[in-house]
Structure 1
Amino acid sequence: MVHCNFLSIMDDQIHPNYKPAAYLIFAAIAVDLINGFIQKGTNPDFDMVTLAEVSLMFLTFGYFAFIGKDWIKWVILLATILTIFPIVAALNQKANQLNILYISQFFSSLLKFSSFIILSLVPKKN
């Protein structure tokens, strides 16, 4: 009797780098959410709706990385580059003015960029 499990067949076709990249994206979302709740406590003008929208967007990216879509690495790279702009603005501040929010934004961007690097190591499909 032959037992065929669709999920195991699907897992065999996906390069092993996709799952760690997805987990890095999910970790970056967690850092962003924690950062957002900290900002909401210190800045009443902080918009939680925007945080939720960006988090959902990156959850979607993580899902596509998890299922092995090759094109997602370029989307992640573009989104990571766009999220780095607040960090660049923070670097113009004096070192003693940098706070935990900017450090966590940097860490989140580092996680996202690391996922791009891992996805870039996947060989091209013929």
Structure 2
Amino acid sequence: MDDKIHPNFKLSAYLIFAAITVDVISGFIQWGKNPNFDMTVTAEMALMFMTFGYFAFIGKDWIKWVILLATILTIFPLIATLNQEANGISLFYISQFFSSLLKFSAFIVLSLVKKKP
């Protein structure tokens, strides 16, 4: 079964797992700076994207649309925080932008897979 899965699915899964790592690290950084930061939301998002990464790893074609939708929905808070930053762009914003870029790259990699006839 492993040889039937296109290599882009595994690459996409690794990109998603890298994005999760960036999210969790930035969550811990934000939690250290702001004790009111809710770490459970970061953990829930990490579990959700780990599930997406698993489905990409096993070669499910429909996961690319779910990843795209989730990535778009996670970009909206970034746009809101950009307007609230008084001292310029923070490390948290940069890490979240990089994470979103990794997730969108996973969608692009999955989009390059040819449909099975």
TM-score (norm 1): 0.88
The runs of 5 or more residues in structure 2 that have no matched partner are: none
Contact 1:77 1:116 in 2 (8 A): yes
| Farther off after superposition, 83-92 or 110-119 | 83-92
Kindly tell me the number of residue pairs found equivalent between the two proteins. Answer: 117
Unaligned runs of 5+ in 1: 1-9
Larger radius of gyration: 1
User: How much has 1:91 moved relative to structure 2?
Assistant: 3.3
Equivalent residues of 1:90, 1:98 under 8 A apart: no
Aligned-pair distance for 1:43? 1.0
Identical aligned residues as a percent: 75
Matched, 1:107 2:92: no
Contact 1:73 1:116 in 2 (8 A): yes
Q: Deviations over 1:80-111 (max 9, x none)?
A: 00110122123335685211000000000000
Query: CA separation in 1, counterparts of 2:24 and 2:35?
Result: 16
Q: Secondary structure at the match of 1:69?
A: coil
Mapped pair 1:120 → 2:114 = no
Structure 1: distance between partners of 2:33 and 2:86: 20
Quick one: distance in 2 between partners of 1:23 and 1:84? 20
**CA 1:95/1:19 → structure 2, altered by over 3 Å: closer, same or farther?**
farther
- Over the aligned positions, Cα root-mean-square deviation in angstroms equals 1.3
TM-score normalized with structure 2 length: 0.94
Consecutive aligned runs of 4 or more in structure 1 exceeding 2 Å deviation = 90-96
Q: Which one-letter code corresponds to 1:74 in the other structure? A: W
